[in-house]
């Protein structure tokens, strides 16, 4: 029997080296040290706790629907990522000898291989202090370094803070739908 050659499959998330060089530190106005780093599979518990701690409004604005808890599939998808095709940066603070997540910014490369869709959410007490801007700037730098040409996102019109952040970072806001705005940044 003749064997047909098989093309090698792309590296799995498990075989991608953890990009520890992307970790950074951000200082809050009060001096609180916040570590920003790529998410890891073992962050599932702090990711679940983070989403659970968000207000119903914040969850609605992030997920564009009523999400109370992350399903096991969502949790796996959010924490077990292929660093070559997607990125999720989490912001964590140390409290009582353990990490607590206070924000996350992520992108996932679209099928065209040149653009990626992003999402971001910051815990309410940390909003309007510059953390969201810092997370997005880091994410933009990583997307550029990965060779992506465009970041895109969908933002509810009821989320003026996110629309303001996007516009302030140079995203073009497209008003195609009265409820959902498209934002686009050429990298």
Cα 184 to Cα 114: distance, rounded to the nearest angstrom: 13
What's residue 118's pLDDT? 96
> Where is pLDDT greater, at 56 or 160?
160
Q: What is the mean pLDDT of residues 139-144?
A: 97
* Placement of tokens 């008003």 in the chain: 175
pLDDT at 60: 67
| 22 or 177: which leads in pLDDT | 22
End-to-end CA distance of the chain: 50
**Which pLDDT score is estimated for 184?**
97
Sign, Cα dihedral of 122, 124, 126, 127: positive
pLDDT for 64:
63
Q: pLDDT tens across 112-140, in order?
A: 999 999 999 999 999 999 999 999 999 99
Q: Dmax over Cα atoms in the chain, in whole Å?
A: 70
What pLDDT score was predicted for residue 109? 97
What interhelical angle do 160-168 and 131-145 show, nearest 10?
Answer: 50
Q: Which domains does the chain have, with CATH numbers?
A: 20-186 (3.40.630.30)
User: 63 falls in which pLDDT band (50, 70, 90)?
Assistant: low
Kindly list the distances between the CA atom of residue 22 and the CA atoms of 11, 18, 47, in Å, as whole numbers in the listed order.
20, 9, 19
Q: What is the pLDDT of residue 71?
A: 79
Summarised one tens digit per residue, pLDDT across range 149-180 is 999 999 988 899 999 999 999 999 998 788 99
Q: Give the pLDDT confidence score for residue 58 in this predicted structure.
A: 78
Pairwise CA distance, residues 122 & 15, whole Å: 29
In this structure, the strands spanning 115-122 and 150-156 are parallel
Q: Which residues pair with 99 in a beta bridge?
A: 94
Token pair 């951000």 is at which residue? 26
- The structure's pTM equals 0.87
Q: Who has greater pLDDT, 6 or 142?
A: 142
Q: Is residue 135 packed enough to be buried (19+ CB in 10 Å), middle (13-18) or exposed (0-12)?
A: buried
Rounded CA gap, 180 and 150, in Å?
Answer: 19
């Amino acid at each position: 029997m003749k064997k047909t050659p098989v093309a090698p499959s792309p590296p799995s998330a498990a075989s991608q080296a953890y990009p520890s060089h992307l970790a950074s530190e951000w200082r809050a106005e009060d001096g609180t040290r916040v570590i920003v780093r790529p998410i890891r599979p073992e962050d599932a518990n702090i990711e679940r706790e983070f989403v659970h701690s968000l207000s119903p409004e914040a969850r609605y604005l992030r997920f564009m629907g009523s999400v109370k808890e992350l399903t096991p599939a969502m949790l796996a998808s959010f924490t077990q990522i292929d660093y070559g095709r997607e990125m999720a940066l989490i912001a964590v603070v140390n409290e009582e000898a353990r990490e607590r997540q206070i924000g996350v910014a992520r992108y996932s490369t679209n099928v065209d291989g040149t653009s990626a869709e992003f999402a971001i959410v910051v815990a309410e007490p940390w909003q309007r202090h510059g953390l969201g801007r810092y997370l997005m700037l880091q994410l933009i730098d990583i997307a550029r370094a990965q060779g992506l040409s465009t970041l895109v996102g969908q933002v509810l019109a009821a989320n003026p803070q996110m629309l303001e952040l996007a516009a302030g970072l140079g995203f073009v806001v497209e008003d195609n739908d009265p409820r959902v705005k498209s934002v686009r940044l050429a990298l």
